[in-house]
Amino acid sequence: MSRIASRLALALSLLALPAAAQDKPAPAPEPMRIVPVRSAEPGCEPHCREWLSAQGAITNDTLEELRRALAGLGGRKLPILIYSTGGTVEVAIAMGELIRQQGLDIAVARTVLTQRDPNLGTIDERSPLCSSACTFVLAGGVRRIIPPQSRIGVHQQTILETETTTVRDYQIVRRREGDRMVERRELVNERKETRTVKQEQATGEIDAKIARHLDAMGLDRSFLKLTVSTPADTMRYLRPEEMRATTIATQLSPAAAIFSEQRSEAAPAPADRRIAPAILGNIGFGQHRGREIRLELAVREGSQPGEVGLRMRLLSGNAPIATRLRTVTIGLPGAAPIVASNEDGSQPEGPMTTEIAREQLCRLGDLEQIVLRIDPREDDASAKSWIQTGSASELLLAPALRAAVC
C-alpha cells in the first residue's frame, strides 16, 4: 500500500505545480470562414469595392463553405482575398479547381472586419500569409496578386495517422477470506499513449495529386519542385523573385490591384492634352554585387503630337549607373520592340529616352505580358543583360502610366 500512497503523493504534487509551469497545447487555428465583404473606406459609396474574404484553416467543411458563399453572390464574380496557414490538402485542391472553373481572381491579404457591421471591412497588407495547402487554393486563381512582402510558404505534404493505445497499471491484492487466500486485480493507473505514423503510400498518392493539380492550373514545375524538396516539418517562404519565377504569382502588386480590370478601357486622351513631367516609380531587377538594381521610369511630353516621352534612369541602390551606350528594350504584345538609349555623351549617367504612341499606352492592359531588357555597352564583353518578363502592371507600372498620360 505504500507504493500506492507514493504514487498518489506524486500525482498531488504535479497537480500543485503553478499554472505557468504546465504545458498548454497550442490552440487549433479557427476553421476558414468565407464571407462577402464591402469596403468600409470612408467616402467610397456608391462604388465601394467588394470581395470574398477567406480566412482561417482549411478543413473538411471548407469546400462546402466556398460553394455556399459563391451561391449567395447570385452570379456575380467577386475576387477572393485569402489569408491561411493551410489545412486539408485534398479540400484545398478541390477549392482551387472550383475557383478556376468560376474564373475568379485571388489576392493574398487579411481582411479586418468592422465591429459595427461584419459585412464591412478593410484590407490589411502588413503581413499577408498563404502557406502549405493554402497555396493549392491560390493556384486556382485566374489572376494571382501577391504583395511582395507576403509569406508564401511551401513544404512537403504528408499523410499522418495517429495511433492511440490505452495503458492500464494494476496491482495484485491478496487477502484472506475465511480459510483461503483470494487474489484480485486493482486498477492503479490508466493513461493513453499516442504516436504519429507517416503513411508512405498515401503520401505518394497525395504528391501525385498535387502535381496533377498544379499542372492543370498552369503553374511552372519549379513550384512543385520547391514544395516537395522542403521537409514537412519546416516551411520555406518564397522570395519575390521565386514567386514570379514559379508563376504562383501572376502579379507582384498590392492586393488592391485585384480590383483593376484585366484590360484598360480608358479612351485615348484628347490630342491637345499636355503631359506633365512625372516620375512614376521604380522597377526592380534583383541584386547585383550586393545592391538592388532598379530602373526609374518617368514620362514627359513627346516631341510629336500623340507621342509620349519615356525617360529611364538606371540605379544601383540609390546611386546612378552609367547609361551611356546602354539600351533598354521594351517588348510589347504585337508591336515592334521599343528601344531607349542615352545618346548624350555629356551625361554618361543621364536618362535613356524613347517615344511611344499615347494611344498604345492607353490601351495597354495591366496583365499583358511584356519583356524588359537592359543591355550593356557593346564594348563590355564581361557584362550581362538584365531581363525581366512579367505583366505591364509590374514592368511598366501600367496603372500609374495611364493616369499620367491618358
Asked whether 231 and 132 are in contact (CB, 8 A), the reply is no
Rg of the chain in Å (alpha carbons): 30
Taking the C-alpha atoms of residue 324 and residue 131, their distance in angstroms, rounded to an integer, is: 45
Beta bridge partners of 34: 54
The architecture of the domain spanning 278-405 is Sandwich (2.60)
> What pLDDT does residue 66 have?
97
pLDDT of residue 4: 38
Residue 157: per-residue pLDDT: 84
- Judged by phi (left if over 0) then psi (alpha if -120 to 50, else beta), residue 87 lies in left
What's the sign of the alpha-carbon dihedral 201, 202, 205, 207?
negative
pLDDT at 382: 58
E strands in 42-101: 50-55, 80-83
pLDDT at 89: 93
Residue 159 grid coordinates? 499523410
Pull the grid cell for residue 19.
Answer: 499554472
Instruction: Look at residue 87 in the predicted model and tell me its pLDDT.
Output: 93
Q: What is the pLDDT of residue 378?
A: 64
* CA–CA dist 76, 292 (Å, integer): 42
Cα distance between residue 110 and residue 148, in whole Å? 14
Backbone angles phi, psi at 33, to 5 degrees: -110, 135
Report how far residue 367's alpha carbon sits from residue 158's, in angstroms, rounded to the nearest whole number: 35
Strands 327-331 and 369-375, bridge-based pairing:
antiparallel
Check residue 51 and give its pLDDT.
Answer: 97
Q: What is the mean pLDDT of each run of 10 residues along the chain (406 residues)?
A: 36 31 52 95 85 96 96 93 95 96 94 90 93 96 92 84 77 83 85 66 77 91 92 93 91 86 44 78 82 88 89 86 80 80 77 88 80 76 75 86 86
Residue 76 near residue 52, CB atoms below 8 Å = no
Domain boundaries, given as residue ranges, for the chain: 33-157+200-259, 160-198, 278-405
Q: How many whole angstroms separate alpha carbon 108 and alpha carbon 125?
A: 8
Q: What is the pLDDT of residue 377?
A: 66
- Per-residue pLDDT at 161: 59
Which H or E run contains 97?
A: helix 89-101
Give Cα 333 distance to the centre of its chain.
27
Q: What is the pLDDT of residue 19?
A: 34
Instruction: Give the C-alpha separation, 255 to 58, whole Å.
Output: 21
pLDDT of the residue at 381: 61
Cell of 352: 535613356
CATH architecture of 33-157+200-259: Alpha-Beta Complex (3.90)
